[in-house]
Amino acid sequence: MEILGTTLRICVDDLDPSVAFYEGLTGSEALRFERGGVRVAAVGCFLLMSGPEAEIEVLRRVAATIAVDDVDAAHKALTEGGARVLAGPVATPVGRNLIAVHPDGAVFEYAARRPSA
């Protein structure tokens, strides 16, 4: 597994003005999608999320999204290293992901940013 980068996760009350700010800041256009009632916008290295408080409360526990070249390889490396996988690997609108708790208690999403075959 190769780690390709990280994405900062930001939960916001109102997605549209936040997207406008981050588009201006990064000079890139947002990729928007919805999942489980949560509206999401990926803008540069930022992942903005807005939705029902019950859903957002869960999302706030995930420290960051770590981009990897292979989610299955990440799954193997994580479990062999003592991490506990909470969800996934599953398909998402932008690729595949999983959520894992590291042995120290930190929670991260691991994602491959391309559609699965």
* pLDDT digits 0-9 by tens, 10-41: 999 999 999 999 999 999 999 998 888 899 99
Structure tokens at 8: 């900062």
The residue to which tokens 């256009």 are assigned: 29
- State pTM to two decimals: 0.80
Domain 3-112: which CATH number of 3.10.180.10, 3.40.50.300, 3.30.43.10, 1.10.1060.10: 3.10.180.10
Q: Average pLDDT for residues 72-79, to the nearest whole number? A: 97
Q: Average pLDDT for residues 42-60, to the nearest whole number? A: 92
Q: At 70, is the pLDDT very low, low, confident or very high (cuts 50, 70, 90)? A: very high
Sign of the Cα pseudo-torsion (35, 38, 39, 41, in order): negative
Residue spans of the domains in the chain: they are 3-112
With pLDDT > 90 as the criterion, what percentage of the chain qualifies? 81
State the pLDDT at residue 81. Answer: 96
